[in-house]
Every structure is written in C-alpha cells, then in structure tokens.
C-alpha cells in the first residue's frame, strides 16, 4: 500500500468534504433504471424505453415551475433588463456551461431571423467555465474554483443594469456560484437554477447556503429526482434546465416583439409522447445498435450537421468524461487516439462554422500565468495553465476541412443529422454526398421524421422563435443514443457509469461512491484504492493499451478479480 496514496486519500476524506456529494439526489441511483444494463442486454428497444421513463419526471417539474411566481419574475426581469439596454448573461459549467452557450446562440440566431428582434441581438451572453474552449473539451478542475466565475463576470463588465442567470445541475458548482457572488457584489439581478431540493443544499453545503439564502437571489428549484444514469447530470438535470431557461428566454423575446408564446409544458409533454411511439423507439434503438456495432469494429462515427451542430457537440463532448472515451483531437496532434465520435459541418470552414453557429466571435479565456497567480490559484496550475485560447479551439476542425482524417480504419461512418420533419436541405445533402473521404458507411439520421432517412425518429416539434422544441428533441434523442450505446457496449453497470473519468473533485467523489456501490465496500477502502490506482496508472501509463477509467481499473483489479476467485 502506497503511503503517498493513503495520505492523498485521507486528505480527500478529511479536508475535501465539500465535494462529498452522495447525499444529493442528482448523485444517486434512480430505482427506475437500476437494471438498465440488463434491460439493454435483453433488447435495445426495452433499454430505450427504460431510459425514456425517467424523462417523464422532467415533465412534472416543468408543469410546476412554469406556473410559479419565480418563473414569472425571471421573465419579467429579463424583459425589463433588455428593454432598458442591459445584458442577460447565462452562467454554467460543464453541461450547463454548454447549455449557456447554446441559449445565447439560440437568441442570436432568432434575432437574425426576425427583424423585430434584431435590435436586441447583442444583449444576451454566456459564461462558460473555461470559456468557449470548454465547449469541445473539458477543462479539468476549473469548476472547483469560485474565483474563475468571479473573473469571468468581471470580464463581462456586469453592473446593476444587468441580469445573471446561473445554472448548476447540483446547485453546488463552485465556479458557477462564484459568478453569482460577483454579480451580487456588482448590484446585478441574480437568478439561480438547480436540480436538487433547495433546503437539502442549504442544510449541507455552506457555499450553496450562502447563495440560496441570500434574499437578492431568486431561486428556481428544478428538482426532478435522480438521473437515469446515476450522477450523469447531462441528462434529466440539464434537460430540465434547457426547457425552463429556454422557455423563459423565448418568452422574453416574444414579449419584446409582441409575439405569442407556446405552452411549453404541454408541448414538452407532446414531444415526450411522440418520442415514446413505437416508430420513434424503433428508430432510436436501430441507431444505437448501428453505432455500437461500429465501435466494436474499432470504427469511428462522424456526425455532419448545420443548424443543430452545437447541440450535437454538447452530447459528443460529454461522452468523453462520462464514459472515459478519447476526447476530440486537434489537427496538429498525430499521436492521441481519435475520438470515437466527432461533429463537422460539411458546408463551411472551421472559422465560418463557429461564426455562423454562434453569431459572434469566439470568447475564449486568454489568461496567462500572472493572471492565475493574481487569482490565488495553486502553483501546480498557475505554472502550467491549460492551452484554452481561441487559437487552440480553432485546431479542432469542425468545418469541412480534411474529412478523410475521420475515415481511417476501414469501418468508419459518416452520419448526416437533420432536425424537423422537412426534407433535408438540398445544399446540406449535396455537401454531404460530395465528402471526399473513404467512409465505409454513409447514413442519414432524422430527428423529427423523414421517410428517406436510414434512421427515422418521428416526433412532434412545434416551431417557435428559438426553435426550443427542436433543441429539446435533439437533446432527448442524443442523450438516449449515447447512453444506450455505452450500455450495449458494457460501459454501464446497473445504472452507474463505471467508466467515469475522475477529472475533478466532484467526479472523484462520484468514482469512490461507484466503487462502494459495485464493489460492496466502504468509502474509506474505496477512496484509498482509487488513489492507489491513480498513482499506479500514472507511473505505468505506457503499459495500458488504451486509456482506462481508474474506477474500472479498481473494480477489475480489486473486486471483480476477487469475485472470480
């Protein structure tokens, strides 16, 4: 037993208790999907239905929140702020940071499409912990520091005329709460959205209590129970936040332009109904089987899309830390493995894709070593800050450059993705057909319904200025696809993501609890074994043929092998 590993484990247990989050419902196993792995083993269709059952919990929450005084205040304040020339800024980290960027882009695209909305185009912004770079690759440990959230609020020059809408799935993310505290210090209107019971958070976590109990903060508690995949808040938590925040943002826009709003809870219910139809379930299940078989043959999948490219990016980015898959690879990296899934726009170059998708310049963090020292960040990070500038983000070729780099194994697939029940745009289809790359398979996935699609997922998508239900449909389908594919591939145990990447303190706690759950052991033993494995795998990195989750290594080495004996 390594003394260094034991010391690190004891330090985490005794001095990092603020990141021990097993008491939160969003971190716990959902009884509805406790046998998810077995459901998928029996039939992919049955597994899909099991996953979808938890999305119904979002509907009950939405019906409550859309009718609440807090939601009404969010809309009224937002409309007033924008009318008076102020800014509405969404703040998030990880999945909610990507959601914040998506909400901003939805607003900007709507303002381009509607002349009545165009005067308001540059009044909605987003703060993503780690900046835009984190949209495509997680920035490790950034979420653990409140000062990063504070710094990004400062860089937006927020003042009393502005409004912050902070979104944190668990209600405890330090960087997001940092943005809350800085915005309050500057006199801003502040709203806080999260997915755990407010009183539970306030009773157990000081940083959460400080925000929740501040009378200047309007709290929207979106609690809708544990996730379908234990702890994976990219699923129902972020789905609920996208629905509520998106509904609020679209209602604000409609008030400014004099348009009518839809009944968001009702339309979400109709969307769920349609996605649960036999035809839609069959389409999702067929695509899951297709992608899983592709990966079994060591093939890669590349999604090609235009209007909903950011939505697909969100799902594919989050597959890496959730299931310990290779992250996206830059164009100057010939060593790292290629990501199993990637997204490209066949119509435009990478700079054009970002500009047209976001309707603004890239907003990356250009911080240097002195900036990190000024913020009081430990030397281990300050002396070696991550490369997250705009120039680094542009190295991920999300445009039409070099598609052949994604067709290298002989078993790779190009998948065209469209949303809505309209025919595939001719220009997009033509660009996809002309891809100069030796893909073994070219397929068409339609979310919304198209008889010409190889994988057809018919569903009801009502049109509105921000196309909110279209974005909700993509999220629901891709959450099910990516989770279902990993279940079929054996990377889920029960409903736990047993291949999780422990890239920050919250994920480290989640990994320890996962070892406890699956290995049937106590927290202390699991914590020590995890830290021993982290040390061992770092020292023997070259002996592993592929990057393995440290959690899976612990289970395989100390627990599964014991069971076999």
Residue 458 C-beta-side C-alpha neighbours within 13 Å: 7
Q: Which of 45-49, 261-265, 557-561 has the lowest mean pLDDT?
A: 557-561
Rounded to whole angstroms, the Cα distance separating 287 from 48 reads 11
Rounded to whole angstroms, the Cα distance separating 528 from 191 reads 39
Residue ranges per structural domain of the chain: 3-29+496-564, 36-47+267-347+400-488, 68-261
Provide the 3-class DSSP secondary structure of residue 186. Answer: coil
Query: Which residues neighbour 338 within 8 Å (Cβ) at sequence distance 6 or greater?
Result: 300, 326, 329, 405, 406, 408
pLDDT at residue 52 tops 90:
yes
pLDDT digits (tens, 9 = 90+) for 344-391: 999 999 999 999 999 999 999 999 999 999 999 988 788 888 999 999
User: 539 exposed, middle or buried (CB, 10 Å; 0-12, 13-18, 19+)?
Assistant: exposed
What are the structure tokens assigned to 199, written together?
A: 């009183």
Is residue 483 left, alpha or beta, with left meaning phi > 0 and alpha meaning psi from -120 to 50? alpha
Q: What backbone torsions phi and psi does residue 93 show, to the nearest 5 degrees?
A: -140, 140
- Across the chain, mean pLDDT equals 93
Query: Which residues neighbour 166 within 8 Å (Cβ) at sequence distance 6 or greater?
Result: 90, 91, 92, 176, 177, 179, 180, 183, 190, 191, 192, 193
Query: Which residues neighbour 404 within 8 Å (Cβ) at sequence distance 6 or greater?
Result: 436, 437, 438
Cβ atoms within 10 Å, residue 348? 20
Which single residue is written with the structure tokens 């990516």? 482
pLDDT digits (tens, 9 = 90+) for 271-309: 999 999 999 999 999 999 999 999 999 999 999 999 999
Alpha helices in 359-404 (DSSP H): 369-374, 379-382, 390-393
In CATH terms, is domain 36-47+267-347+400-488 a member of 3.30.420.40? no
pLDDT digits (tens, 9 = 90+) for 135-184: 988 787 888 899 999 999 999 999 999 999 999 999 999 999 999 999 99
The pLDDT value recorded for residue 139 is 83
Intrachain domains 36-47+267-347+400-488 and 68-261 with the same fold:
yes
pLDDT at residue 545 tops 60:
no
What are the structure tokens assigned to 20, written together?
A: 């021990």
Mean pLDDT to the nearest integer, 21-31:
91
Cβ atoms 58, 476 nearer than 8 A: no
The pLDDT value recorded for residue 564 is 45
The pLDDT value recorded for residue 461 is 96
Please give the CATH superfamily to which domain 68-261 belongs: Glucose-6-phosphate isomerase like protein; domain 1 (3.40.50.10490)
Cβ atoms 220, 191 nearer than 8 A: yes
CA angle 7–10–14, rounded 5-degree value = 140
pLDDT digits (tens, 9 = 90+) for 196-243: 999 999 999 999 999 999 999 999 999 999 999 998 999 999 999 999
């Amino acid at each position: 037993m390594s003394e260094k590993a034991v010391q690190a484990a004891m330090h985490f247990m005794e001095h990092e208790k603020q990141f021990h989050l097993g008491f939160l419902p969003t971190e716990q196993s959902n009884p509805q999907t406790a046998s998810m792995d077995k459901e998928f083993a029996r039939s992919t269709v049955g597994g899909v239905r099991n996953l979808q059952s938890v999305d119904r919990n979002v509907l009950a929450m939405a019906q409550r929140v859309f009718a609440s005084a807090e939601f009404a205040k969010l809309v009224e304040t937002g409309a007033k702020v924008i009318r008076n020339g102020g800014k509405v800024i969404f703040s998030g980290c990880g999945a909610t940071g990507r959601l914040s960027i998506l909400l901003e882009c939805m607003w900007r695209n709507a303002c381009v499409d509607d002349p009545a909305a165009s005067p308001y185009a540059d009044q909605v912004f987003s703060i993503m912990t780690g900046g835009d770079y984190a949209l495509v690759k997680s920035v490790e440990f950034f979420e653990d520091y409140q000062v990063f959230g504070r710094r990004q609020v400062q860089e937006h020059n927020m003042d009393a005329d502005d409004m912050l809408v902070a979104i944190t799935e668990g209600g405890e993310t330090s960087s997001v709460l940092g943005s809350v505290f800085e915005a309050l210090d500057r006199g801003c209107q502040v709203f806080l959205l999260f997915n755990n019971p407010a009183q539970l958070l306030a009773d157990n976590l000081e940083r959460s209590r400080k925000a929740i109990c501040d009378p200047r903060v309007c709290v929207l508690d979106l609690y809708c129970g544990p996730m379908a995949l234990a702890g994976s808040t990219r699923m129902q938590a972020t789905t609920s936040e996208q629905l509520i925040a998106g509904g609020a943002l679209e209602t604000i826009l409609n008030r400014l332009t004099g348009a009518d709003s839809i009944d968001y809870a009702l339309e979400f219910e109709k969307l769920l109904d349609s996605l649960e139809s036999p035809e839609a379930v069959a389409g999702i299940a067929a695509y899951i089987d297709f992608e899983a078989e592709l990966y079994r043959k060591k093939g890669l999948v590349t999604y090609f899309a235009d209007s909903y490219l950011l939505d697909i990016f969100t799902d594919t980015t989050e597959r890496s830390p959730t299931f310990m898959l290779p992250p996206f690879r830059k164009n100057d990296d010939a060593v790292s493995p290629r990501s199993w899934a990637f997204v490209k726009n066949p119509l435009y170059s990478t700079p054009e894709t970002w500009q047209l998708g976001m309707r603004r310049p890239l907003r990356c963090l250009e911080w240097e070593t002195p900036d990190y020292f000024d913020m009081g960040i430990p030397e281990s990070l300050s002396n070696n800050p991550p490369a997250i500038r705009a120039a680094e983000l542009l190295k991920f070729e999300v445009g039409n450059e070099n598609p052949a780099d994604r067709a290298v194994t002989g078993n790779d697939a190009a998948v065209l993705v469209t949303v809505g029940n309209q025919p595939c745009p001719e220009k997009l289809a033509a660009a996809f057909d002309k891809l100069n790359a030796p893909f073994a398979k070219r397929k068409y996935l339609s979310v919304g319904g198209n008889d010409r699609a190889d994988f057809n997922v018919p569903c009801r998508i009502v049109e509105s200025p921000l196309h909110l239900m279209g974005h909700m449909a993509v999220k629901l389908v891709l959450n099910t696809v990516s989770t279902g594919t990993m279940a079929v591939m054996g990377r889920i145990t029960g409903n736990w993501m047993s291949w999780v990447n422990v890239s920050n303190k919250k994920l480290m706690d989640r990994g320890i609890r996962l070892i406890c759950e699956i290995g049937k052991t106590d927290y202390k033993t699991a914590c020590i074994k995890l830290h021993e494995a982290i040390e061992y795998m770092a020292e023997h990195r070259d002996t592993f043929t592929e990057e393995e989750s440290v959690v899976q290594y612990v289970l395989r080495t100390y627990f599964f092998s014991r069971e076999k004996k």
